[in-house]
């Protein structure tokens, strides 16, 4: 709101309606730094053990790479380099729209731990889509459908997990 007011009053000064911008030196209030909630290694282990494929591998990929939800949903098999043990983040998928990652720095190559490599190789034998994580029909996953189907609202721990995946914070565990 402050940005809009500053712009409005700036134009009022330029057009001669005001002599000075009354909000020129107003600063946006800073939000409180909230400590991030993270899962413990034991919680991660229990979480993964409780899942079936392909959700288990999707969560494992999120945990071991720190990829954001859109990056995970946009991941294609050509982005997985088994010979060099790397996962390349080259695109994202958000609400059915393919795009590039959030920033230039988001385009990256991530080392693939052996645990993840084994899981992805196993998953590759059962999928028939260009997307690593896709629907049973091979179509890209939709973020909203995925969240509501896999993580019902009444489960607080699932909502925490989804928030961590969306923000790319699982790699900090």
Q: What is the pLDDT of residues 77-117, one digit of tens each?
A: 999 999 999 999 999 988 778 888 777 888 999 999 999 99
Residues 53 and 80 in one domain: yes
Q: How far apart are CA 7 and CA 18, in angstroms?
A: 13
* CATH number assigned to the domain comprising residue 136: 1.10.443.10
- Distance from CA of residue 159 to its chain's centroid? 14
pLDDT digits (tens, 9 = 90+) for 26-51: 888 777 777 767 778 888 888 888 88
Main-chain phi, psi angles of 140, to 5 degrees: -60, 150
Domain of residue 1, residue span: 1-33
Residues 26 and 50 in one domain: no
What percentage of the chain carries pLDDT values higher than 90? 39
- Nearest residue to 88 via CA among 69, 107, 64: 107
Q: How far apart are CA 141 and CA 86, in angstroms?
A: 22
Question: Which helix (H) or strand (E) covers residue 42, if one does?
Answer: helix 41-49
pTM greater than 0.85 (yes/no): no
Please tell me the predicted confidence (pLDDT) of residue 167.
Answer: 63
Radius of gyration of the chain (CA): 21
The CA-atom distances, in angstroms, between 139 and each of 18, 59, 61, 102 are: 57, 19, 19, 22
pLDDT digits (tens, 9 = 90+) for 140-166: 887 777 766 665 554 555 566 666 666
**DSSP character for 170?**
G
Residues 75 and 131 in one domain: yes
Residues 45 and 29 in one domain: no
Looking at the structure of the chain, the number of domains it has is: 2
Residues 122 and 55 in one domain: yes
**DSSP character for 140?**
B
- Distance from CA of residue 116 to its chain's centroid? 18
Residues 6+ positions from 85 with CB-CB distance below 8 Å: 111, 112, 114, 117
Q: How far apart are CA 162 and CA 147, in angstroms?
A: 7
Residues 85 and 19 in one domain: no
């Amino acid at each position: 709101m402050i940005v809009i007011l500053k712009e409005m009053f700036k134009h009022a000064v330029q057009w001669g309606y005001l002599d000075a911008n009354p909000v020129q030196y107003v600063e946006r209030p800073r939000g409180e730094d909230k400590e991030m909630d993270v899962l413990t290694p034991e919680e991660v282990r229990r979480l993964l053990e409780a899942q079936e494929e392909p959700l288990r591998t999707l969560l494992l990929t999120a945990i071991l790479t720190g990829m954001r939800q859109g990056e995970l949903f946009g991941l294609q098999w050509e982005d997985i380099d088994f010979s060099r043990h790397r996962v390349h983040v080259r695109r994202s998928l958000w609400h059915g729209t393919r795009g590039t990652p959030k920033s230039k720095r988001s385009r990256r190559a991530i080392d693939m731990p052996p645990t993840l490599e084994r899981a992805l190789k196993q998953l590759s034998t059962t999928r028939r889509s260009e997307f690593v994580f896709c629907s049973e029909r091979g179509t890209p996953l939709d973020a909203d459908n995925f969240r509501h189907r896999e993580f019902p609202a009444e489960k607080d721990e699932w909502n925490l997990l989804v928030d961590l995946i969306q923000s790319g914070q699982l790699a900090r565990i």
